[in-house]
Amino acid sequence: MLTCLGLSAQIYYMGTVKIDGGVIKRTFLVCKSDIFTCARPTHPTRIALLTVGIIVNLALSIIGLVTTPSDFASYLLAIMIVNMLLYLSFYFIMKLICREKILLVVILLITLTLFLWAAALYFFRIKITGWQVSAAQSRELNTNCIIMGFYDEHDTWHFISAFALFVSFVVSMQPTFN
């Protein structure tokens, strides 16, 4: 949660805040000099969107603590996908609020990202392997190969999710190209 708060501060201040040992001292000095300015956010829309992100991440953390997921890998994947969707939503909403042009290449990349993640999640939900069972039991779950007579659904999930991750990172780098 501290990481989430630190990243939110970096996003709110657009990378101009220094998170180091003196951050508490600087915050105290600013609040001490003018408590009214300190209490009111300079960018209300940005703080509202970041608050939604913090609440969603806090809820995911609480769900993980309360339910103790048996499949931690799937739980972690869900957290990462939710955060990627939060980032894409934040990006679009801020572009619309600031009346900035959204490049066609960014729209195409985001569409491709959403399509690839949907396809990857489709193949991920097909239970043809089991990492919690023995190798022999996992082999019994294997199905016929669907790509070139060699790759099954699990391999397809690896291919599509790798490509989805790559395109997701390309999308996350696009705002710096504007």
- Per cent of the chain over pLDDT 70 is 70
Q: Provide the token pair at 84.
A: 């990627």
Is the pLDDT assigned to residue 120 strictly greater than 80? yes
- What does the pLDDT average to over 18-37? 68
pLDDT score of 76: 86
Q: Provide the token pair at 159.
A: 């291919």
73 phi/psi in degrees, rounded to 5 = -60, -45
Q: What is the pLDDT of residues 124-142, one digit of tens each?
A: 877 766 667 676 776 676 7
Is the pLDDT assigned to residue 176 strictly greater than 60? no
Is the pLDDT assigned to residue 106 strictly greater than 70? yes
pLDDT score of 116: 93
- What does the pLDDT average to over 116-125? 86
pLDDT score of 102: 80
CB burial class (10 A; 0-12, 13-18, 19+) of residue 160? buried
| 50 or 19, higher pLDDT | 50
CA atoms within a 13 Å half-sphere pointing along the CA-CB vector of 81: 17
Q: Strand runs (DSSP E) across 55-172, as ranges? A: none
| 70 or 132, higher pLDDT | 70
Q: What is the pLDDT of residues 143-174, one digit of tens each?
A: 777 777 767 777 888 888 899 989 988 887 77
Q: Provide the token pair at 93.
A: 């909403």
Q: Which residues of 39-66 are buried (b: 16+ CB within 10 A; e: fewer)?
A: eeeeeeebeebbeebbebbeebeeeeee
∠ CA 157-159-165, rounded to 5°: 95
* 75 in Cβ contact with 64 (< 8 Å): yes
| 3-state class (DSSP) for residue 72 | helix
- What does the pLDDT average to over 2-24? 64
151 phi/psi in degrees, rounded to 5 = -105, 135
Q: Provide the token pair at 78.
A: 């869900």
| Mean pLDDT taken over the chain | 78
Is the pLDDT assigned to residue 24 strictly greater than 80? no
Strand partners, 147: 151
Tell me how far apart the alpha carbons of residues 68 and 75 are, in angstroms, rounded to a whole number. 10
- What does the pLDDT average to over 92-117? 86
Is the pLDDT assigned to residue 178 strictly greater than 80? no
* 147 in Cβ contact with 110 (< 8 Å): no
